Amino acid sequence: MMQQEFNIDDLSNEPRIKVVIRKRPVNKKEQAKSDVDIIEVKTGQSVIVKEMKQKVDLTKYVEEHLFNFDHAFGENCTNEEVYMTCVRPIVTAAFQRARVTCFAYGQTGSGKTHTMLGSVANRVPGMYVLASHDIFTALQRPQFSHLQIFVSFYEIYCGKLFDLLNDRQILHPREDGKQNINIIGLMEQRITNVDQLLKIIEFGMSARVTAQNSANTDSSRSHAILQIQLKEQNNVYGKISFIDLAGSERGADVIDQNKQTRKDGAEINKSLLALKECIRALDQGKNYTPFRGSKLTLVLKDSFTGNCRTVMIGNISPCQSSSEHTLNTLRYADRVKELKKPTNQDL
Ligand code: ADP
Ligand code: MG
């Protein structure tokens, strides 16, 4: 349950970009294989990877890698804690007319969907639902009671957009005269309560799963984008985008078996690199954002310019067997936003 009340006014000290890391618990399969937990989360900000290595003479040693982020969540933290710490502030900003974005980045199986969607079977709410509770609470205030909420849900697979709320119709983003990017024909469903959002998400998720069985796509190769718009009359007042990114390991699939997987991998790699460059441009206050670098960054153009905020949640698996992908995720997250390097005194 939500510990504190949603406070619209308090945005003091909130950075425009937050990069956080979330470690998931060791699962049964890993336990059964005696896979070792090599990740230590310290002081809520630092992550240490204890990578097992072997010298040429076969003696084993541990190499430690230390990273520092805006926040680091250990395996015992809940979706509520993640929400309260880093997502609620951007939902608040959307009520101050911002375009805000929350990304879940990480290898397949690291907890991206658990964070965003939660677990429907175990009734664990994720970011989508926790945010919508706050949204409908805010609408009870007179100052926001005129706002209407619209939801869209689509995925980007192999550089193409598919509407998850409309029979996987292929969509095309177009730039209008004011240089805004519009997705022509994208389904926008109005909702007036949290239950309606849940039904829409369930419907959209089933469109992802169906495609998985019928074609050679799977959800780890596509980016799922859930957008919640706050509208006043027909104008966008604020916008919240949640992006469950394709598995980051897929970007490295460029030397994989068949042609299609290679093509997918190259496309995913391109979009994850473009995403990093766009957030970096925002972080460094550059007046040029390379949003044309991929379909993903193109459709998110307004999230990288003007009144915008971004949260990147880097999800990591705890075990030795994932150390390479985990280090890649930590390095990626580290590059997105440069923070001061931690010293031993900080720990
Ligand atoms: P991804 O979307 O990154 O591929 P998932 O979110 O599907 O990964 O997570 C893989 C598995 O691990 C799922 O069964 C999920 O329920 C479980 N899991 C992930 N993160 C957590 C967590 N923080 N606590 C408990 N279980 C988790
Ligand atoms: Mg997933």
- Residue type at 101? T
Q: What's the confidence (pLDDT) of residue 5?
A: 65
- Residue 24 CA, ligand 2 centroid: distance in Å: 13
- Residue 223 CA, ligand 2 centroid: distance in Å: 9
pLDDT at 294 over 60: yes
pLDDT at 163 over 90: yes
Decide: residue 55, CB within 10 A, 0-12 exposed, 13-18 middle, 19+ buried. Answer: exposed
Q: Which ligand is closest in space to the CA of residue 315? A: 1
118 lines ligand 1 (CB under 6 A): no
- Residue 93 CA, ligand 1 centroid: distance in Å: 28
Which of 73, 77, 87, 79 minimizes the C-alpha distance to 1? 79
Average predicted confidence (pLDDT) for the chain: 90
250 lines ligand 1 (CB under 6 A): no
The kind and range of the H/E element at 315 are: strand 308-316
Q: What is the mean pLDDT of residues 137-160?
A: 96
Q: Please give the Cα distance from 103 to 218 (Å, whole number).
A: 19
Residue to probe by mutation, ligand 1, list 24, 122, 250, most atoms within 8 Å of CB = 24
Least confident of 75-84, 142-151, 207-216: 207-216
Residue range 2-15, pLDDT digits in tens = 456 666 656 656 78
Q: Please give the Cα distance from 245 to 222 (Å, whole number).
A: 7
Whether ipTM exceeds 0.90: yes
110 lines ligand 1 (CB under 6 A): yes
Q: Please give the Cα distance from 166 to 204 (Å, whole number).
A: 9
User: How far is C-alpha 195 from the chain's CA centre?
Assistant: 22
Residue range 301-328, pLDDT digits in tens = 998 988 999 999 999 999 999 999 999 9
Helices within 166-293 (DSSP H only)? 194-214, 259-283
Q: Which ligand is closest in space to the CA of residue 108? A: 1
- Residue type at 237? Y
End-to-end CA distance of the chain: 31
- Numbered residues of the known binding site for ATP: 106-113
DSSP secondary structure of 215-228: SS--GGGEEEEEEE
Q: How many CB atoms lie within 10 A of CB 177?
A: 5
- Residue 326 CA, ligand 1 centroid: distance in Å: 15
Residue range 171-209, pLDDT digits in tens = 999 999 988 899 999 999 999 999 999 999 999 999 887
pLDDT at 74 over 50: yes
Query: Nearest 5 degrees, angle CA 29-CA 32-CA 33?
Result: 90
108 lines ligand 1 (CB under 6 A): yes
Residue range 33-49, pLDDT digits in tens = 999 999 999 989 999 99
Tokens at residue 48, please?
Answer: 């240490």
Confidence of residue 1 (pLDDT cuts 50, 70, 90): very low
- Residue 37 CA, ligand 1 centroid: distance in Å: 16
Q: How many CB atoms lie within 10 A of CB 301?
A: 20
Q: 295: helix, coil or strand? A: helix
pLDDT at 293 over 90: yes
Nearest atom, ligand 1, residue 111 CA? 6
Three-state SS sequence of 117-143:
CEECCCCEECHHHHHHHHHHHHCCCHH
